[in-house]
Amino acid sequence: MSEYSVVGQKVTRVDAVEKVTGAAQYGADVHPPGMLYGKIVRSKHAHANIRSIDTSEAEKLPGVRAIITQDDVPSGRRVFATDKVLYLGEPLAAVAATDPDIAEEAAELIKIDYEVLPVVQDVMESIKPSAPRLHGDDTKDGPNRREITGQIRELSRDKENDHSDAISKLEAELEKYADEVYYNISAESHSEAGDVEKGFAECDIVVEDTYVIPRVHQTYMEPHVSVASADSSGKVTVWASTQGPFAIRSGIAGTLGIPLTQINVIGTTMGGGFGGRFGVIITHVPAVLLSQKSGRPVRVQMTREEEFIDGRPAPGCVIKLKTGATKDGRILARQALAFWDSGSVSGASIGSTIRVRGVYKIPNLKIDAYGVHTNKSGTAAYRAPGAPQAIFAGESQLDEIAERIGMDPVKFRLMNMREEGDKVPAGGEEPKVGYKETLEAVADAAGWWDREADENQGWGVAVGDWTNGCGPGGVYVSVHEDGSVRIFHGSMDITGTDTAITQIIAEILTVPYESVTIRRGDTDSAPYSTGSGGSVVTFTMGNTAKLAAEDAHQRVLELASERLNANVENLELREGAVHIVSADPPKSISLGELAAYSLSTTGGPIVGKGSFARQPSTPALAAQIAKVEVDPETGRTRVLKLVASQDVGFAINPMAVEGQIEGGTVQGYAWAMMEEMQYNENGNVNPGFVDYRVPTSADLPTVESVIVEVPAPNGPYGAKGVGEPPITPTLATMANAVKDAIGVRINELPIKPEKVVDALKSNGH
């Protein structure tokens, strides 16, 4: 079928053997001679003033080699809390010792004197003027209270359909504070298209609901770790478990005031990231400081509990959403008001609220979003940051409208989807995207059109969109005398991207995949590379690799032209040799011979260089259908079928692409049904796998993946980023299936058994 011989094939990944034999080296496997073990001393309270930190007892413990606090940060940039802690687990100091158990003992010997303060964990509580303030008067200039209450009042008009009264209660509460100012709002984002008021007025049906999405942890299996070694010349080497070594280099330089060239970051094999492995302060900076102070290499490795209390998880949020449609099924207006829980620092992906618009023609749209402080750690990206939350609200509400107007949910979506050439809200025109193809593909594969459901069974559908990012990257390609090809670059492999790069270069140089090897350099040696997040790698590094291979290809033809006495235009590279087109008898020279010849030329060896920064990509759609069975006695939901299709542009390695679809879908399933970081006035209360349940193989059936290929004009071979889209629709897919099964909608995730039982009870069961 394929016109290609290497791309588009299910090749064995380049890292296959090292991954199944235990040879792959992850961060915690690095052990330089003389290495010490670091331990971070953490706050035991969720909100407290710090009166004093006493390290004297810990210093006396044999084996302790360094203790650091904020006083040891020469740049003064905040690494450790000093006078106030804002969440349970916030770092206050760090210890390095000759043994991990000694480091832990020493950490416990450091005495912290706390003055405990009132705590706020719920965004809807935190936006009240009476809430405990996290940052003193710092956020006084946040948006004015009157404007927010106005929006809330407007959105709260339709009380009939509101399954949650949080917003209306809040409205009443806010009336008491007419002249006060909000303190815990960290950020805001607003956008508008058309005229929502006019739009809603023209609608036959208006539905309004409040959706509550919990904070969840990326739960990469490898906890954060770094090993730092500062030598006497001031040179700092950091083995970092990270998605972006170059970002870590600049982060350390900026935080500690060390020149870039004095820092070498070596990216170790990454044990999962999902967006959560970009942070600099978490382990890398403390490791460097401890190494500088002790004069020894130091490893700082988080435990799983530390991951939960001081990781940077995905933000939870409360989204009030209102959608209006005509009775013949046209969506005319949508309005959202969202409060994102950004924890103790700003940075939650509040701008993603715009994703409630989905992939539909909605002429009138208004979005208002706020980031709100609570006594939790800060947040970070998690696979399509912000999109699963917003799309959960948007796609759940679409089903409610479809039901009221009596339309099939798939047909309703197909009818409203944007088409090529449509105006895009952000400006410009809609490119060619397989929105309808992808939804139709999943409906066909799942058997949607002749679906059957026994008692307590139900079907749910949802779609989600995401567009891959882009960023700078560089790749070198060398051709050797034996005809083998070597790639050199600096981007972290994110579960198969090194393989995709290798396939692209093998394709262009027409050599067997097996004769191409790929090496990653550290930040001292490799050309700059953007971080491996945002589904950028195959798109960015794939394009970069293509340019490098084409550059090498050009040099190969020049060399062959000299050797074969033929014009470049009459030459063709195929099957690893350059041939004179239509020569009789055939005349050719192999890549290996050309590489050997190149060493004695004035032009030199065959080295191709690719350097690339950005091109716009096109959106990728993920469409999913679930069939579930709910036990009304226990409230337990069992998945009977889960089918996921995705427009991937072009699947460079279909096996890896399927893996991304399956893995992302299961993460979405878990967010819908199982996962939730829980907090009380003491902080996070479920920091482990017993209380924070992630799915095991026993929780799910096989995920059926369906690849749809509508090429992206600027992607390598038409490829789009595939990692993030599959998590975006699953939250709503599951909620819609449960609603179909039990007849009651649950808008507060996760849909745990007790919520199902409560929902059934409140519905008269």
Partner 1 sequence: MAKHPVALTVNGDEHDLLIEPRKTLLAVLRDTIGLTGTKEGCSTGDCGACTVIVDGKAVTSCMVLGVTVSGKEITTIEGLASDGELHPVQQAFIDTGGYQCGFCTPGFIMASKVLIDEDPDRSEEEFRHALGGNICRCTGYTKILEAVLKAAKQIRTST
Active-site amino acid positions = 724
3-state secondary structure 706-761: EEECCCCCCCHHHCCCCCCHHHCCHHHHHHHHHHHHHCCCCCECCCCHHHHHHHHH
User: In angstroms, rounded to a whole number, what is the distance separating the alpha carbons of residues 721 and 28?
Assistant: 29
The least distance separating partner 1 from the CB of residue 690, rounded to whole angstroms, comes to 6
Nearer to partner 1, 205 or 655 (CB): 655
What's the token pair of residue 54? 């006493």
**Across the beta sheet with 364-373, what order do the strands follow?**
185-193, 364-373, 331-343, 317-325, 205-213
Residue 560 and residue 571 in contact, taking contact as beta carbons nearer than 8 Å: yes
CB of 270 to partner 1, least distance (A): 6
Q: Of 426 and 690, which CB lies nearer to partner 1 in the complex structure?
A: 690
Q: How far is CA 694 from CA 31, 218, 365, 699, 745, in A?
A: 31, 10, 36, 9, 23
* Residue 219 Cβ vs partner 1, minimum distance, rounded to whole Å: 5
Cα–Cα distance between 735 and 746 in angstroms, integer? 7
Q: Which is nearer to partner 1, 129 or 654 (CB)?
A: 654
Contact between 395 and 207 (Cβ < 8 Å): no
Q: Between the CA atoms of 232, 234, 235 and 241, what dihedral angle is there, to the nearest 10 degrees?
A: 100
Residue 627 Cβ vs partner 1, minimum distance, rounded to whole Å: 16
Helix (H) or strand (E) holding 188: strand 185-193
Closest-CA residue to 662 (of 694, 718, 622): 622
Query: Residue 435 or residue 466: which is nearer to partner 1 going by CB?
Result: 466
**Residue 243 C-beta: closest distance to partner 1, Å:** 11
Nearer to partner 1 by C-beta: 282 or 595?
282
Compute the distance between CA of residue 626 and CA of residue 734 in angstroms, rounded to an integer.
7
Burial 148-168 (b: 16+ CB within 10 A, else e): bbebbeebbeeeeebebebbb
Closest approach of partner 1 to the CB of residue 493, in Å: 9
Q: How far is CA 323 from CA 21, 190, 210, in A?
A: 53, 17, 12
The answer to whether the CB of 321 falls within 8 A of the CB of 391 is no
Is the bond into 363 cis (omega within 30 degrees of 0)? no
Residue the block writes with tokens 């460079």: 652
Q: Closer CB to partner 1, residue 108 or residue 408? A: 108
User: Which amino acid, residue 11?
Assistant: V
Whose Cβ is closer to partner 1: residue 37's or residue 211's? 37
Q: How far is the CB of 12 from partner 1 (least distance, A)?
A: 6
Residues in touch with partner 1 (CB under 8 A): 10, 12-13, 15-26, 28-29, 31, 100-101, 218-223, 269-274, 303-304, 495-496, 655-656, 658-659, 662-667, 688-690, 694-698, 700, 702-703, 705
What is the SS3 assignment for 171? helix
Closest contact distance (angstroms) between CB of 491 and partner 1 is: 15
- What distance in Å separates the CA atoms of residue 737 and residue 717, rounded to the nearest whole number? 36
3-state secondary structure of 460: strand
Residue among 16 and 583 whose Cβ is closer to partner 1: 16
Nearest residue (CB) to partner 1, 133 versus 299? 299
Q: What CA–CA distance (Å, rounded) separates 614 from 540? A: 7
Question: Furthest-apart CA pair in the chain: how many Å?
Answer: 94
Q: Residue 300: how many CA atoms within 13 Å on its side-chain side? A: 30
Beta-carbon count within 10 A of 173 CB? 16
Nearer to partner 1, 273 or 715 (CB): 273
CB 215, min distance to partner 1, A: 17
Angle at 137 between CA 133 and CA 138, to 5 degrees: 100
Q: Nearest distance from residue 38's CB to partner 1, in Å?
A: 15
The minimum distance between CB 340 and partner 1, in angstroms, equals 24
Residue 640 phi/psi, 5-degree rounding, is: -95, -30
Return the number of the residue (607 or 674) whose C-beta is nearest partner 1: 674
Shortest approach of partner 1 to residue 700 CB, angstroms? Answer: 7
Pairing state of beta strands 91-97 and 64-68? antiparallel
Check if the beta carbon of residue 474 is closer than 8 Å to that of residue 547. no
Listed residue (605, 625, 614, 712) closest to 669, CA to CA: 625
Strand partners for 460: 626
Answer whether 222's CB lies under 8 Å from 26's CB: yes
* Closest CB to partner 1 among residues 220, 466: 220
**CB atoms closer than 10 angstroms to residue 599:** 10
